[in-house]
Amino acid sequence: MAKGIWVFAEQRDEEIKKVTYELLSAGRKAADALGEELCAVLMGRGVGSLAGKLGEYGADKVYVADVDALENYTTDAYTNVLADLAKEHQPTAILLACSVAGRDLAAQVAQRLGTGLMTDCTDIAMEDGQLVFTRPIYAGKAFVKAACPQARPVMATIRPNVLAADAPQAGRAAETVTVSAGAGDIRQVIKEIIKQISTRPELTEADIIVSGGRGMKGPENFAILEELADVLGAAVGASRAAVDAGWLSHSFQVGQTGKTVSPVLYIACGISGAIQHLAGMSSSKCIVAINKDPEANIFKVADYGIVGDLFEIVPLLKEEMKKLLA
């Protein structure tokens, strides 16, 4: 019999990503409703010490695969371990972050297990004894609720920042199970990892994002957005138009072909609001738009709109925020 709600505990550089705690909190509620256990699956090299933290966030059991071959994410190694583990224990559901690694891994594991996969979900609920997921369709113009009553395991990827993470229970322990399965054949070879050093939060996990578009007029003008971001402790993002123009690298792009974000506050500066961009940020909890065109499409989704010259407004906003935060 299928048993357990599983959460893939995504980590980077031996640090658990925030979205994992969000998934554990949602998984805890689902597991309690079904009368099943909540399990986390932790993979990497030298990650065994992180299992305790997962217990504090609700996990009853943590499967730990701590081997050299899992030091860096590769599709084959992580798929082999997670799929083999799922085949052995037959969980009810597997939840993963809608991150670069999570999306890649979820698709591969779902194919290997012959089950369905719901992607880019924004909510999880229990209805009539089964898991029901909410996800956007038509580039975020509408939302649909979906369930897989026959699929086992049910698999889904969840956007970061859309679910609330419960406060950890200090001292709460989880059973740790060491996974001895090997990583199998690995076709990918990682030659080099180039890291960007930044004091700002990672774009997909940031609570506040300040984004710029074509209205920034050039790469040098993103400095004023960076100054505002630093005051707010925010990440900096960009529209596809700004990235295509070569003003910022693709890693900053928010949108359907960039990164999907769900911050508490999204400040759009000089962004017209093309559907491609809206698809990547429309689930933000509060959207502030600054644009000199009162007919800009971005104002249709904005909670607050400022019509005016961003080169005058953003510096004023920065100074006011400094005063408020002081």
**CATH code, 203-325:** 3.40.50.1220
pLDDT in tens, 238-260: 999 999 999 999 999 999 889 99
Residues comprising the chain, all counted: 326
Q: Taking residues 104-110, report their average pLDDT.
A: 96
Q: Which long-range contacts (CB under 8 A, 24 or more apart) does 62-65 make?
A: 62/9, 62/174, 62/175, 62/176, 62/177, 63/39, 63/177, 63/179, 64/176, 64/177, 64/178, 64/179, 65/41, 65/179, 65/181
Q: Which of 82-91, 96-105, 171-180 has the lowest mean pLDDT?
A: 171-180
Question: Contact 65/179 with Cβ under 8 angstroms?
Answer: yes
Q: pTM for this structure? A: 0.84
Task: Spell out a b/e string for 285-295, using b for 16 or more CB atoms within 10 Å of the CB, else e.
Answer: eebbbbbeeee
CATH number for the 5-178 domain, one of 3.40.50.620, 3.40.50.2300, 3.30.2130.10, 3.40.50.1820? 3.40.50.620
With a cut of 50, say whether residue 1 has pLDDT above it.
no
| Phi, psi for 9 (deg, rounded to 5) | -85, 90
User: What does pLDDT average to over the chain?
Assistant: 91
131 contacts 154 by C-beta, under 8 angstroms: yes
- Residue 287 tokens, joined: 């959207």
Would you list the domain boundaries of the chain? 5-178, 203-325
Assess whether the previous peptide bond of 153 is cis (omega < 30° from 0): yes
Torsion of CA 322, 298, 265, 99, to 10 degrees: -130
Check pLDDT > 60 for residue 2.
Answer: no
